[in-house]
Amino acid sequence: MATAHAAQRRPAVLGDLLPGSLARDAALVVGAAAFVGAAAQLAVPLPGTPVPVTGQTFAVLLAGAALGFGRAGLAMIVYLLAGMAGMPWFTEGGSGTGVPTLGYVIGFVAAAAAVGALARRGGDRTPLRTVATMLAGTVIMYAAGVPYLMASLDIDLGRALDLGVTPFLAGDALKVLLAAALLPAAWKLTGTARGR
C-alpha cells in the first residue's frame, strides 16, 4: 500500500518536479510556447526549399517530454494561436498565415502531445526509449507539414518530400540523439530515473 502511494506521487514528467499546480501549469505552458518561439528565431534558410532549418522542432520535442500530454499540447496551441494573431515568434518573426510551413506548426500540437503522453509512460527515461519517443514526434510533425506543403505550393508528394523532409533528416536525427542524451540525464539528476 505504501509503495503504491509512493508510486502515485512520483513525477510522471519533468514538469511535475516543480512545486504548485495551476500557477505552475500556466507558467509551464506559456514558458514552453515562448521557448519554441525563441527557438524559431534560430533559422537557417536552405537553398531550393521554403522550409528553413530551425531549433523549433527540437524545442517542441523537449517541451512535449518535459510537460506531458495536456500541458505540452496546450503550450503548442498557445504558440500557434499567438503566432497567427501576430506575435512575431514563428520562424524569422512571421505570422505564419499564408506560409507553406504552417502545416509543421500545426503538427507541433499533435507531436508535443504525443511525446508528452509517451514521456508520461517513461518514454524519456532511457536513451533507447527517448529515441523512439522523439522519432514518433518527428514523424507526426512531418505527417502534418508535408500535406500542407503540397497544398500550399500545389506540388506532388515526391516534390514535397524533397522540399520538406529529405534535407532535414540528418539534422533531425542529430536532434533525436541529443534529446536521448539530455532527457535521461535530467531524470538521473533528479534521482527519480527508475520510477517507470
Residue 102 lies in a domain: yes
Q: What is the pTM of this model?
A: 0.83
| Run of H or E including 188 | helix 169-190
Range of the domain at 82: 2-190
Grid cell in block for residue 8: 502515485
Which pLDDT band holds residue 190 (cuts at 50, 70, 90)? confident
pLDDT in tens, 133-177: 999 999 999 999 999 999 999 999 999 999 999 999 999 999 999
Count up the domains in the chain and report the number: 1
Q: Specify the pLDDT at position 141.
A: 97
Residue 20 lies in a domain: yes
Q: What is the CATH number of the domain that holds 66?
A: 1.10.1760.20
What is the rounded CA–CA span in Å between residue 91 and residue 131?
Answer: 26
Residue 12 lies in a domain: yes
Task: Report the range out of 3-7, 83-87, 94-98, 113-117 with the highest average pLDDT.
Answer: 113-117
What is the rounded CA–CA span in Å between residue 188 and residue 9?
Answer: 17
CA distances from 174 to 109, 135, 136 (A): 22, 11, 15
Residue 196 lies in a domain: no
Residue 195 lies in a domain: no
Residue 45 lies in a domain: yes
Q: Going by C-beta distance under 8 Å and a sequence separation of 6 or more, which residues neighbour residue 47? A: none
Q: Is the pLDDT of residue 92 over 80?
A: no
